[in-house]
Structure 1
Amino acid sequence: MKNRKLNIAFFGSSLVSAYWNGAATYYRGIIRALHERGHQVTFYEPDAYERQQNRDIPDPDWAKVVVYDATEEAVYKCLQQAAEADMVVKASGVGVFDELLEREVLNLKTDDRLVVFWDVDAPATLDRVHNNLTDPFLTLISQYDMILTYGGGDPVVKAYEALGAQKCVPIYNALDTATHFPVAPEARFTCDLAFLGNRLPDREARVEEFFLKPAAATPDKKYIIGGSGWGDKPMSENVTYIGHVYTNDHNAFNCTPKAVLNISRESMARYGFSPATRVFEAAGAGACIITDYWEGIDFFFTPGEEILVAQDGNDVASILSDLTARQAKAIGEAAYRKVLAAHTYNHRAEQLEQLLYAKVKQQDVALA
C-alpha cells in the first residue's frame, strides 16, 4: 500500500485561471507535483466569475480539468464521476454551491475512499464558523477523514481539532520551480517597491498601512501595485497601478523591482504561519522580499538574511531608504537558495503522500 498511486478527484475554484482566484498557483504546484509522483488528479471547477474567459494556462497535461456549468445538475453529475476516485477533495471557496459540495462529497466516503476538506483560507473559515454557530459546515467537520489547510500552523490545527476534526495538517504553499524562476528584468516593472495582490476586505487596511502610506511618505521613490480591484483606490502620484498581472508575468514582476512587498490578509496575519504563495514565488525568482510581520516567519526564512520584516509602514519606508541594490541582490539570492532547499511543491507533495499513506494504512489496520 505504501507505493500505491492514487486517483484523486479535486473540487476547487479553478486550476486554469488565476482571475479573482489567489489559490490557483497553489493548486497548480501541489497537483503538478502529485502528478510527477505518479498520482492522477481530475480537477472539477465551475464556469463562474469570468475565470474561463481569463485563463492563464490551457488545460495542462498533468491533470484532467472538468469545467462544469454553475448548476446543481452539473454539480451532481461531477459528484457521480468522482465516485470512481480513491480520494475526493473538497477545497474551500469553490465559489458556487460550496455548501452543497461540502455536504455531498461526504456521501462518497467509504472504507476504501478518503474524503478530505482542503481549506485554502482556514483563518476566514474558522472566523466564519466561530461567529455563526448555525453554520452547516460545523456539523460536517468531524465527518471528513482529514482537514488539510493552506497554512496556519498550530493555532489553526488546534482550532480545527476543537471543532471535532479527526486530523488537521497544514500543507504550506511553496515554489513551483516549473513556473517561477529568475528571468531578465523588464523595464515596465522597474521601481523601488512592487506589491501584487487582489483588493479584498481583510487586506485593504494593511495595504494602506504597509504600501500606500510609505509610498506617500517617500515621493522620491517609485512604486507599482498589481492585482484586481484597485482602480478607484486613491494613491499618491508615485504609485502606478497596472491591474491584473497574469501568471506568465510574475517572474519579471518579481525580478525587476529593487524589492517586492508581501502583505498578509488580516486574518492570516492574526493566526500566523500563513505565508502567501507569492512569498515563495518571489523567493523563487530571487527577489528581495519585504514582508509585514506575522508569527512564524522564521519557520520559513531567516529575517534580516533571507527576508526583511516590517512592523508597519514606517518600517517599510525606513528599510527602503537604507536598502542598496547590492544588499537587495544578496537577500534575494539567499531566499532563492532557501526555497529550493526546503520549500518547493515537491517537498509538500512528499509530505502529503506520507500523510495519505499513513491514513490508508490506519484504515487497513482498523478493517483487519
Structure 2
Amino acid sequence: MKLVVLGLSLSSSWGNGHATTFRALLSAFAARGHEVLFLERDVPWYAEHRDLPDPEFCELAYYDDLAGLEAFRELIAAADAVMVGSYVPEGTAVGAFVQGCSRGITCFYDIDTPVTLAALDRGACEYLSREVLGGYDIYFSFTGGETLARLERDYGARSARALYCSVDTARYRPLDVPTRWDLSYLGTYSPDRQPTLERLLIEPARRRPDLRFAVAGPQYPEDIAWPANVTRIEHLPPAEHAAFYCASRFTLNVTRADMIAAGWSPSVRLFEAGACGTPIISDRWRGLDELFAPGEAIILADGAEDVIAALDRPARAIGAAARAAVLAGHTAQQRAAQFEADLLAAIHTHQNRTPSRREMA
C-alpha cells in the first residue's frame, strides 16, 4: 500500500522521541513491501540537528506551512492511508486538510496520548480537536489499557487501537563496550519528570560518590546542581544510543505524570534499553508488569534507597530477561505487522461501506 505520514519529525531526534519511534516502525513497514512518504514541517530547531536527512526506507519531504501542503495534495489524495502524528505544528488544521482531500483512510498516531487527552479536557490542545479526532478512521494510541475504551466512549474516536513504540533490534543490541556508568538516564528535560529524576538518580549519586552516573538529553536548566559523579551529555544521537546503554550497568526509566496516571504507556526507551540487554530501574505505573516481570526483567523503585539497593545486586540476569521480553513482543517487525493488519482492516471497511448522502451529492 501507499502510506503518507505527517509527523513531528523523522529527520531529527533532537529533543523528541518521535523520530526514533517513526524510524523503527516505518522502516519495518517499508520492508514489508509498502511505499512511505513522510512529510515534515521544516522548523529551524530540527533543521539544525538533523541526524537522518536521507532515510533509505522512505521518501522524506518538507513543507514550510499549511499552504505548503498544497504541493502534496494529490499524493495525499491518492494514498491508501494517511497518518497524522501528535504534536505536529497546527496539527488540527493539518488533520482537517488530510480528511478533506484523502480518498483512502485517515488515521492519527498519538505518541503522547495522556498528554493529548488532558489538553483536550482543558480545551487547550494545539494539534487536535474533538471534531478532527472523530473524523479519523483509526486513532492509534501509544497508550493501551482502559484509555482505548475512553477514546471511543468519551472522545468520539471511531476505532482506537494500541500501537506501542517498538525497537529496531538490528540497531539496538548488546555491544561489547567498556562499562562507564553504574546508572544512566536518557531523556529530554521535562518539568514533571524532573522530581523523579532527582529522587531516583541525583539523590543516589549524592549518597554514593563512589558510583558513576550519567544523564543524556537536551534542555536541562543551567541551575540544576549535578553531583560531581554525574556525567552530563547534552545530546546523544540515535546512532550512539546502544553504546550508551551497553556502557551502563543499569539504566533508569522515568515516566511523565500524565502517562503514570493513564498507565499502559511504555516509553520507547524501555524497549531500546531492554533490546540492548541493559537492566532497567523504573518508576511504577499500571500495565508495566504486563511488559516486563517486576523483579525479574525490571526493577521498580520508589526512592533513592530502592535504587541504591538495586545497584548493589547482580544485573546480568535482569538484563537478559528484559531483552527476551522485548524480542518476544516489541520489535519493530512485530509492530509493523500489527500496524499493517489494522490498516488493511480499515481499508476493507472503507471500500465496502455505503457512501453517505453528502458524499453522493
TM-score class, shorter-chain normalisation, is over 0.9
**Cα distance in 2 for residues equivalent to 1:133 and 1:259:** 38
The 3-state SS of whatever aligns with 2:57 is coil
Number of residue pairs the alignment of both structures matches: 352
- Counterpart of 1:224 in structure 2 is 214
Query: Offset at 1:53?
Result: 2.4
Q: TM-score, normalised by structure 1?
A: 0.90
- Counterpart of 1:171 in structure 2 is 163
The 3-state SS of whatever aligns with 1:179 is coil
**Cα distance in 1 for residues equivalent to 2:350 and 2:69:** 29
Alignment of 1:42-57 (within 5 A): 42-57=37-52
**Cα distance in 2 for residues equivalent to 1:126 and 1:68:** 27
The 3-state SS of whatever aligns with 2:78 is coil
Identity among equivalent positions (%) equals 33
Question: What are structure 2's unaligned runs of at least 5 residues?
Answer: 356-361
Pick the aligned partner of 1:297 from 274, 288, 292: 288
- Counterpart of 1:84 in structure 2 is 78
The runs of at least 4 consecutive aligned structure 1 residues that moved more than 6 Å come to 133-136
The 3-state SS of whatever aligns with 2:40 is strand
- Counterpart of 2:358 in structure 1 is none
Query: Offset at 1:49?
Result: 4.0
**Cα distance in 2 for residues equivalent to 1:342 and 1:99:** 33
Computed over aligned residues only, the root mean square deviation of the Cα atoms, in angstroms, reads: 1.9
Question: What are structure 1's unaligned runs of at least 5 residues?
Answer: 1-5
Amino acid of the residue matched to residue 188 of structure 2? N
The 3-state SS of whatever aligns with 2:8 is coil
Query: Offset at 1:66?
Result: 0.4
Pick the aligned partner of 1:143 from 131, 135, 139: 135
Pick the aligned partner of 1:129 from 120, 127, 134: 120
Contact kept, 8 Å, 1:206 with 1:265, in 2: the verdict is no
Amino acid of the residue matched to residue 61 of structure 1? E
Q: TM-score, normalised by structure 2?
A: 0.92
- Counterpart of 1:269 in structure 2 is 260
Contact kept, 8 Å, 1:206 with 1:266, in 2: the verdict is no
**Cα distance in 1 for residues equivalent to 2:245 and 2:17:** 16
**Cα distance in 1 for residues equivalent to 2:296 and 2:141:** 28
- Counterpart of 2:66 in structure 1 is 72
**Cα distance in 2 for residues equivalent to 1:87 and 1:134:** 24
The 3-state SS of whatever aligns with 1:148 is strand
- Counterpart of 1:3 in structure 2 is none
The answer on 1:359 being equivalent to 2:321 is: no
Pick the aligned partner of 1:200 from 159, 171, 190: 190
- Counterpart of 1:103 in structure 2 is 96
Cα deviations by residue, 1:114-140 (Å, 9 ceiling, x for unpaired) = 010111100110000111289860122
The 3-state SS of whatever aligns with 2:5 is strand
Amino acid of the residue matched to residue 144 of structure 2? G
Cα deviations by residue, 1:9-61 (Å, 9 ceiling, x for unpaired) = 10001112101221111101110111011111100001214212212224122
- Counterpart of 1:155 in structure 2 is 146
Q: Which moved more, 1:79-88 or 1:22-31?
A: 79-88
**Cα distance in 1 for residues equivalent to 2:246 and 2:75:** 42
- Counterpart of 1:278 in structure 2 is 269
The answer on 1:331 being equivalent to 2:318 is: yes
